[in-house]
Each structure stands twice: as structure tokens, then as C-alpha cells.
Amino acid sequence: MTIDKSLPTELGYHSQRAGNVLYVEYAAQIPADLSPYSVIKFKRGIDITYDLQILSGKDYLAYGDSSLPKPIIRRSNPDLTIESNGVNDALIADLDLRGGRRGLSFYSGSNIEILRCHLEGNTAHANAQGIYAKYVNGLKILQCTSANTQGDVIYGTGCSNVNIEYNDFGATNGAAGDGIEFSHENKAGQRNSNIIIRNNIIRTDDLSNSGKGAIVVEGTDGYEISYNDVEGQYFGISLSGTDGEIFENTVHGQDMVQYPYGFGIGIGTAFPTDNVSIYGNRIFNCNRGVIVSAPNPANPPLITNIGISNNEFIDCGVDTFVNIPYTGTIE
């Protein structure tokens, strides 16, 4: 599979859509039936409690004085996750979503864009992600920020045609907390495809009790991880799957040089991996720079057509660590 680099990287699927607009200053102004409205606009500077559920064919936007903060929309219950199921063609922009278990949660759907939003979870829960997505085709997460997530900032499974670009994600929390994770959960029907993670700042070390790293992509066919600045807790970028390119990333961390198995970029997986290139990355302050390994080296997965070259290592204990069979080239 070849990564579809023709996916648009401009910010926005569309301009504000035509149709009736609902302007919101108070939660009481929001009717139970939103079907007459194509656009729901929340006034900048407000802080309301409203259990926002994303619906198909609608824009959720901010309006008002651009010097004021994003409108804050809180869940009514900190234990609450509102699933937005089967959403097609939706834009969520310039909102601050907090107060519930997750910022946003999608089960199935297509063409969903999240732009310039601030996302928070509830650290009292496991799996309190900023964004959770399952079976979504066409997902853009652009120029967003995060705080107080428990688990991953972004978690996706069974997703395709995804762009995650120009985000600045804060420290994650919890033993399972990665900055971004796309997983197939060891299920054939949940493999991801055509995932682009580019030009992000991801922090999982600073003020974090994360037990993991910055980016995880596994069980994915066709992916690019590039031009990111990531700070990992125990690793920076971990990957498996097929047809991947990992290049021009800066990877660093405080604990990765102390943790015996800490690494910058790694094929450190129990799953088969084929046709993956790791090149042009800058990796520093890691115990191991780039690895090719497995949780059980005595029973490794099939690792084929690997290319590792032209990476820069600074203050790493070992530049390249390999302890399982593979085919390909390491320079």
C-alpha cells in the first residue's frame, strides 16, 4: 500500500455551510431539536454546561470578539461520555470542550474535522481521551490543544484517511497514556489505513505520569509520521504495520535515557511489520536511539523490508539496537 500524500493539508474541508444559524449565549437557548439548523455558533467568552452531541451535516463554531477566549462547553457530569454515532460531514472549530470523561467521542462516520479546539478529559477515569474515534473514514484534527487527559490525547481504531497536523498536545496521564495512538487492538477488522501525523508538538514527559510515549501506530497500513517534535516518557515513537515512513522528527525525553528499555523510535512490536523507512530523524537523550525488537525476542514477529538511515543521535546510550531477525538495511 502507498500512503496517499495527495490528501489535502489545507486547514478546512469547507467554509461555513449555508443554512439556518443558531447563535448561543446561554445553554437555555439551545432547543432539543437542532434539525432546523445547519450551523450552531457559541459566543466567545461564555462558559456553559451543555451535553454537546455532534450531528451529521452541521458546523459547530465560535463567534464574537476574537480577543476573547474560546467558548467553554462543559459536560453536565464528569463521568459522562457522549458518543456521536454515525456522524458524516461535520466541522467542530474554535471550541473548548471539557468537563466530561472525554472531549469528543465518535463511533463510525466520515469527513469529520476538528479545528483549533481545546480538548480535555477527566483524570479520574481510565480511557479519558481528548478524542476517541472508532471506524471513522476521513478525520482531520488540526491546530488543537489538550490538557488533563487520562490515557491518550487521541485514540483511533479501525480508522482511515486521517490527518493529524499542527497540534500542540500537553502532558498525558496514566500508565496507558500516549500522546497519539492508532491501534487495531489485535483485531483484523480494526486495522487503520492512510494515517498522517505531521508537524505536531507532543509532550508526554513534562509534568506527566504517563507510562508510555508520544506516538504509537500499530496495525496500520500506510502511514506517515513526520516533522513532529515529541517528548516521550519511556519512548518517543513506536510503530508496526505496513508501508510506513518516519522522517524528520525530533525525539527527546528525560526518562528515556534512564529507563533501560527507553528508545527514541522503534519497531518494538509483537505484530508483523513490512516496508517501513526511518530516516532523517534527530534523536537525543535516549537510552537507545532506534530499535528493532519485540516484547519476546525469542519469538519475534516477521519484520521485513526495513530501511533505517541518516538519523542523527545525540547523547544516546546506543544509537541503533537490534535483537531480532529482520530483512532490509540499517545504516
- When pLDDT is cut at 50, 70 and 90, the band that residue 220 belongs to is very high
* 8 domain residue, yes or no: no
pLDDT value, residue 9 = 44
Tell me, yes or no, whether 34 lies in a domain.
no
Q: How many domains does the chain have?
A: 1
Q: Which residues of 71-85 are buried (b: 16+ CB within 10 A; e: fewer)?
A: bbbbbeebeebbbbe
Note whether residue 146 is domain-resident: yes
Asked whether residue 276 is assigned to any structural domain, the reply reads yes
Domain membership flag for residue 129: yes
What pLDDT does 225 receive? 97
pTM for the structure as a whole:
0.91
Query: Does residue 11 lie within any of the structural domains?
Result: no
pLDDT digits (tens, 9 = 90+) for 170-190: 777 666 667 899 998 878 889
pLDDT computed for residue 3 by the predictor: 46
For cell 472508532, the residue is 134
Average pLDDT score over residue span 134-153: 89
Domain span at residue 320 reads 41-330
Q: Flag whether 218 is in a domain.
A: yes
Does a structural domain hold residue 58? yes
Q: Is the pLDDT of residue 151 over 80?
A: no
Mean pLDDT check: name the lowest of 90-94, 238-242, 297-301, 306-310: 297-301
Residue 45 pLDDT exceeds 80: yes
For residue 90, what is the domain's CATH number?
2.160.20.10
**Chain centre distance of CA 328:** 29
- With CA atoms as reference, report the closest residue to 201 among 162, 181, 228: 228
